[in-house]
Structure 1
Amino acid sequence: LLERILAFIDDDIIFEQKSLNLHRKYFLIKLKYRNEKNVFKKIFLNRNVNLYFKEKLINSMRYEAITMELLSIEKGILTLEGNFGSLFDAAELEVKACVNDKIYHAEKIDRTVHNLYCLNKPVKEYLGFKVDIPVGELANNSNIEMMISSNGKLIKVKINFGRLFPLDKHIVDFYTKNGIGIYFDHKLNNLVVLKDKNQIIRAKEKRAQRRFKTFNKIGAEKASNVRKIMEHLYKIKKNKRVWLFMDRINKADDNAEALFEYAMQQNDGIKKYFIISKDSPDYNRLKKIGPVVAYGSPKHKFLHLLADEIISSHADDYVVNPFVNMRKYYKDLFKFNFVFLQHGITKDDISGWLNKYKKNIRLFITAAQPEYESIINGHYNYSKREVILTGFPRFDKLVNHNHKKILIMPTWRNHLVGKINPQTGKRDYSPLFKNSVYFNELNNLLNDAKLINEANEKGYEIVFFPHPNIVQQLKDFNKNSSVRIADINESYRDHFNNSAILVTDYSSVAFDFAYLKKPVFYFQYEKNHLEKGYFDYNSMGFGEVIADKDALVDKLINCMENDCIMDAKYIDRVNQFYKYTDKENCKRVYQQIISLGTNIKEGIKK
């Protein structure tokens, strides 16, 4: 229908649309003329290629820009990673780096996660690239030009910088690491590499002065003062390593806490701190384990800039980065490796969120073979170098006490809750929540008379442990004296250890519970709200999948009558799924993090 309608719309009208970007206009024109040949023509010039529609110039390669996303200098190799998106066919293009007339060919990297779609068809396809340049082959003042090769022509393109790249064009345009200095030459549109120590110092000071003059917005003067203090702190720190551990902003009791406790017992000379809100009930409890620093405090911010490793069970920017709203002033100072411990087993495809070019995870900790393979072989863009199969630290703390308790612990739905406050990590109340199928099914289960009566008769306690992201909605639920609503600050681990049965929907808490080989029931009354991954609940799940509330209640009653013993079929699945059950997960993760520092030192020596 759209194709037929387009036949009545003049081409100029399509190109004049202000609400459509050029790529969508190009798509509409292609759709309109898809049965005609040679509507678009490429004209190759000496140092450029132009794209024409009829006689109209619609795109020129030399005005396109390549986006630099990641930069690393390790083991004597300077690595640049990024993407290039244009109207030109990505499959016909190559990215190359020209360094003082020497050409370095880039490896093509999958970047479908960035693609722009219209009517389920790619409107803009991105070409991902990775180019390695040996530091030993770089002279002082080496210029790095970024080129696109098309039909044998080398065309220089502009350079833009992504969020995770340590440079930008306005405030932070100089970066140093492992004895190498890199800055952006605005006039030539090149990256310049410095290797001479004195020249690096002079260039850094000169560009810092220019940068400080641009600080004329709120918070910029403060950023300028922080940077000056950091120069002194770096000298004091020297070769001392600093590790920061985090779970949520206002709650611990996850993989980071378990690993922090283990790491504090190791005599390794590393400065270790746990970061959490001072208002959290866990704040004082954690002090018995080791040093605790208030989230968002000046000390936290300085430690963040000094950190070698930031070790967290969560990957949200507002959790791990206290400078989330001031990133542009400090991005060149972020020298840490991000170690992602995970909050739960990754079972769905969340590559759109956790891929390398959004999070740049240095160590991605996994606990199961299928999980590990799904990340290595998926669209996350990580390799075996970053993805490690060790088991989760918190699994070392799981013990099967099996008290008479039914634990109801579903996950949440992003589209049903209010926006989050980045300062507190809490969400606004949503009046739409109580109209959802999610709420009504869960509320009916929690107030089911048959389940409540049978549980009381058999001496079982029913506990509803809400997901932290729906706590603000608890006033919507009908309360009854037979179902206890757990406080969000209660220990997940204690509930896993002490419960006899778990009821969830799609939550990864089932993996912790099944690890203890206790019965799990998946109450899936609506389709999975997450992108489907490798995990199939019917063939791989650790319990029955049930869509009907009454059927679930009957299954729970039957389970209580049979002393809550996991079926042999599901015990076999648990044994096949987990790589380790030896209580040494913390040790393996700790050793992997320690090796990061070893690798860096070896690279500097080389």
Structure 2
Amino acid sequence: NVYYADFDKILLEVCVGKNRLKTERTDIYTNIRHFGRTTKKGYSFKAVIPVDKINGRDKIYFEYTYGEAKVRTSITFLSFQSRLSNKLPESYWIFGNSILSYDEKKKQMIVEPLTFGSHLKHEIKMMYRVARHGRKRIGKKKTLEMLRLRASIKLNRGFGRKDNDSISGAPKNKKPVWITYDQLFKGGDNGQYFYEYMNKNVSDIETCYIINKDTKEYKELTRKYDRKTVLPFSTYKTRLKCLKSDMLFATRIDIRLYMGFTENDEIYVRDLFKADVVCLQHGLTIQKIAQYQNKFYDNTKHYFCVSPKEVENITKPIYGYTNDMITLTGAPRYDGLVGEPKKQILITPTWRRNVTAGTNEKGKQHEYSVNFKRTTYYQIYNSLINDKRLIAAAKKTGYRIVYLVHPILSPQADDFDKNDFVDIVPGVKANYEKMLKESALMVTDYSGIQFDFAYMRRPLVYFHPAELPPQYAEEDTGFGPICRTNDELIDELIKAMQSDCRLEDSYKDNINNFFPYDDQSACKRVYEAALKITNFS
């Protein structure tokens, strides 16, 4: 990272033995933001080192020239996917039939040939360091688990040279292991749909699903499928399976957390992770969210998309993806969206960060907020679902109103005032597929499930009160009218109920242009695309 520099005057080279290779400047997101403003911008680049350029005992280092200054720069290994760690001088990584380590004093990476002896020597030093360093950092019990993970993986993979090693230094499993997940406290999203498709239709790949053990999804899935493929979150078994996996289908960012590792313990095993990470998503990437969805964040190899609109967005340089890294497949959960609607209107706004309480630890819900009823968010939506004109129109036309509280805000569900014509449903307890299929019209602000609803070619009405700005920059999808006030929205809903919630042709055309598919074959397309990525076919 550089605070004050003319980036155009920086020459950065990677030195491999006697070879000096130029780096390629990129525009991938590296900004540091405070209070919504960028305060620091990193110098992002790409360096490609051909394997045939690396000799048995080469040194690799970065050197930049700025004006008359020529400086060898240090390397900081920040992320889980960095493989090495500055906190552990003995850390190393096996790639192909070579060993990579880092010399902090000389600011260089060292490559040496992989032999049984050299590998075993590195591992003994690493285990000793984990034992000493870990006791102070993560405690005795957790340290023993990290040592157990290392021993299990290393004994499974062996220490000698192998003919068919992958670049990660670990051979592929005889039976490929694929892993996915959703919100850990509630399944039912793209990960679960893909997991179920694979376990019903593909027997030569072991597909696993991570979920909290105390959820209803865990109980249901262990009854329907092989129990060993349903992985309880944050257990030794699950962490080991993730380190052994060949492909990880991420539906949310920061994969190490969903695998059950923390920033304190992942440094002891990061060199063991070998899976290709692909993005299955849980929403659509049409907003400006490069901060989280850029390629660097999880070292994502491939991205599965629903719409050409997404492809247009994430092929912008700031994300770091190219067209060959993207496949239009549709969302796996769309495969379940088949059925006739009832006379039901679904109101489902997304959440806002400033109305929740507590921290959102992985696998846990947000805490109850005692201040929620004082927020503008609560006042707007509580007034909406208790509006006298809305209730009268629903009674007259025979419609039922369902207010679906976002899963993150589910602890606040009982705060809303109740009436006889509106069902208030906490998202964490909802069957989304059933609720979407049974609804004739959806009201939302910016919720991602607007796209699920539009996929069924059903009408949407958007509610964008000025007092509740979006969390991300949003664009008009053209799927339905936008209302700015409560009265405008009520007028639109009354009109819709009186016309049996018919989708207008202009909005239907926009929806058809947005979605290239209207079938229930997304899971199959994801599977077929993943086969091509991994060369398992």
Structure 1 distance, partners of 2:353, 2:86, is 35
Contact 2:146 2:268 in 1 (8 A): yes
- The amino acid across from 1:130 in the alignment is K
Using the TM superposition, give the Cα deviation of residue 117 of structure 1 relative to its aligned residue in structure 2, in angstroms: 7.7
Contact 1:249 1:319 in 2 (8 A): no
Using the TM superposition, give the Cα deviation of residue 119 of structure 1 relative to its aligned residue in structure 2, in angstroms: 11
Question: What is aligned with 1:150?
Answer: 66
Question: What is aligned with 2:155?
Answer: 232
* 1:119/1:209 CA distance change after superposition, 3 Å: closer
Question: 3-state SS of the aligned residue for 1:159?
Answer: coil
2:514 is equivalent to residue 577 of structure 1: yes
2:458 to 518, 529, 533: 518
2:102 is equivalent to residue 184 of structure 1: yes
- The amino acid across from 2:197 in the alignment is Y
- The amino acid across from 1:247 in the alignment is D
Using the TM superposition, give the Cα deviation of residue 118 of structure 1 relative to its aligned residue in structure 2, in angstroms: 10
1:264 to 188, 199, 204: 199
* Cα deviation 1:9-51 (Å, max 9, x = unaligned): xxxxxxxxxxxxxxxxxxxxxxxxxxxxxxxxxxxxxxxxxxx
Structure 1 distance, partners of 2:172, 2:506, is 55
Question: What is aligned with 2:20?
Answer: 103
Using the TM superposition, give the Cα deviation of residue 206 of structure 1 relative to its aligned residue in structure 2, in angstroms: 4.5
2:10 to 66, 69, 93: 93
Structure 2 distance, partners of 1:149, 1:500, is 63
Question: What is aligned with 1:25?
Answer: none
Question: What is aligned with 2:135?
Answer: 216
Structure 2 distance, partners of 1:277, 1:127, is 39
Question: What is aligned with 2:433?
Answer: 493
Using the TM superposition, give the Cα deviation of residue 405 of structure 1 relative to its aligned residue in structure 2, in angstroms: 0.7
Question: TM-score when scaled to structure 2?
Answer: 0.89
* 1:211/1:318 CA distance change after superposition, 3 Å: closer
Question: What is aligned with 1:159?
Answer: 75
Structure 2 distance, partners of 1:272, 1:530, is 34
2:86 is equivalent to residue 169 of structure 1: yes
Question: What is aligned with 1:194?
Answer: 112
Contact 1:106 1:129 in 2 (8 A): yes
1:281 to 216, 223, 242: 216
Question: What is aligned with 1:551?
Answer: 488
2:379 to 415, 440, 444: 440
Q: Report % sequence identity.
A: 29
- The amino acid across from 2:245 in the alignment is A
- The amino acid across from 2:534 in the alignment is G
2:375 is equivalent to residue 459 of structure 1: no
- The amino acid across from 1:529 in the alignment is P
Contact 2:15 2:60 in 1 (8 A): yes
* 1:452/1:318 CA distance change after superposition, 3 Å: farther
Structure 2 distance, partners of 1:556, 1:86, is 52
* 1:439/1:250 CA distance change after superposition, 3 Å: same
Using the TM superposition, give the Cα deviation of residue 396 of structure 1 relative to its aligned residue in structure 2, in angstroms: 1.8
Contact 2:288 2:473 in 1 (8 A): yes
Structure 2 distance, partners of 1:588, 1:522, is 31
Contact 1:117 1:124 in 2 (8 A): no
* 1:543/1:319 CA distance change after superposition, 3 Å: farther
Question: What is aligned with 1:322?
Answer: 260
* 1:203/1:384 CA distance change after superposition, 3 Å: farther
Using the TM superposition, give the Cα deviation of residue 289 of structure 1 relative to its aligned residue in structure 2, in angstroms: 4.3
Structure 1 distance, partners of 2:526, 2:252, is 16
2:425 is equivalent to residue 506 of structure 1: no
Structure 1 distance, partners of 2:36, 2:82, is 32
* 1:498/1:118 CA distance change after superposition, 3 Å: closer
2:499 is equivalent to residue 562 of structure 1: yes
Question: What is aligned with 2:533?
Answer: 596
Structure 2 distance, partners of 1:194, 1:489, is 54
Question: What is aligned with 1:310?
Answer: 248
Question: 3-state SS of the aligned residue for 2:529?
Answer: helix
Question: What is aligned with 1:531?
Answer: 472
Structure 2 distance, partners of 1:222, 1:363, is 31
- The amino acid across from 1:389 in the alignment is L
* Cα deviation 1:454-491 (Å, max 9, x = unaligned): 21232211111111111112232112232112242322
Using the TM superposition, give the Cα deviation of residue 86 of structure 1 relative to its aligned residue in structure 2, in angstroms: 4.7
* 1:332/1:196 CA distance change after superposition, 3 Å: closer
Contact 1:90 1:125 in 2 (8 A): no
2:287 to 330, 348, 355: 348
* Cα deviation 1:57-100 (Å, max 9, x = unaligned): xxxxxxxxxxxxxxxxxxxxxxxxxxx42533222102111111
Using the TM superposition, give the Cα deviation of residue 577 of structure 1 relative to its aligned residue in structure 2, in angstroms: 0.6
Using the TM superposition, give the Cα deviation of residue 196 of structure 1 relative to its aligned residue in structure 2, in angstroms: 3.5
Question: What is aligned with 2:332?
Answer: 393
Structure 2 distance, partners of 1:237, 1:150, is 44
Structure 1 distance, partners of 2:319, 2:271, is 24
* Cα deviation 1:103-143 (Å, max 9, x = unaligned): 011000114542568996x7644211111111112111110
Structure 2 distance, partners of 1:119, 1:223, is 38
What is the root-mean-square deviation in Å for CA atoms of aligned residues?
2.4
Structure 2 distance, partners of 1:577, 1:206, is 55
Contact 1:87 1:124 in 2 (8 A): no
Question: 3-state SS of the aligned residue for 2:63?
Answer: strand
- Structure 1 segments of 4 or more deviating over 4 A? 115-120, 235-238, 316-319
Contact 1:96 1:147 in 2 (8 A): yes
Structure 2 distance, partners of 1:222, 1:254, is 31
Question: What is aligned with 1:12?
Answer: none
Structure 1 distance, partners of 2:331, 2:469, is 24
Question: What is aligned with 1:204?
Answer: 122
- The amino acid across from 2:471 in the alignment is L
* 1:265/1:317 CA distance change after superposition, 3 Å: closer
Question: TM-score when scaled to structure 1?
Answer: 0.79
Question: What is aligned with 2:304?
Answer: 365
Gaps of 5+ in 2: 159-170
Structure 1 distance, partners of 2:33, 2:363, is 33
- The amino acid across from 2:4 in the alignment is L
Structure 2 distance, partners of 1:430, 1:587, is 42
Contact 1:167 1:175 in 2 (8 A): yes
- The amino acid across from 2:306 in the alignment is A
Contact 1:361 1:386 in 2 (8 A): no
Contact 2:184 2:362 in 1 (8 A): no
Structure 1 distance, partners of 2:180, 2:34, is 38
* Cα deviation 1:325-359 (Å, max 9, x = unaligned): 42222211222222221111223111112212223
* 1:226/1:366 CA distance change after superposition, 3 Å: same
- The amino acid across from 2:258 in the alignment is V
- The amino acid across from 2:506 in the alignment is K
Structure 1 distance, partners of 2:87, 2:469, is 43
Structure 2 distance, partners of 1:117, 1:502, is 35
Q: Which has the higher strand share?
A: 1
* 1:203/1:151 CA distance change after superposition, 3 Å: farther
Contact 1:348 1:530 in 2 (8 A): no
Question: What is aligned with 1:382?
Answer: 321
- The amino acid across from 1:190 in the alignment is Q
Structure 1 distance, partners of 2:134, 2:338, is 54
- The amino acid across from 1:581 in the alignment is D
* Cα deviation 1:371-406 (Å, max 9, x = unaligned): 111111152122223332211111122114111111
Give the paired residue count.
512
Using the TM superposition, give the Cα deviation of residue 214 of structure 1 relative to its aligned residue in structure 2, in angstroms: 3.1
Question: 3-state SS of the aligned residue for 1:543?
Answer: coil
Structure 2 distance, partners of 1:267, 1:477, is 45
Using the TM superposition, give the Cα deviation of residue 152 of structure 1 relative to its aligned residue in structure 2, in angstroms: 6.7
Using the TM superposition, give the Cα deviation of residue 183 of structure 1 relative to its aligned residue in structure 2, in angstroms: 0.6
Using the TM superposition, give the Cα deviation of residue 587 of structure 1 relative to its aligned residue in structure 2, in angstroms: 1.4
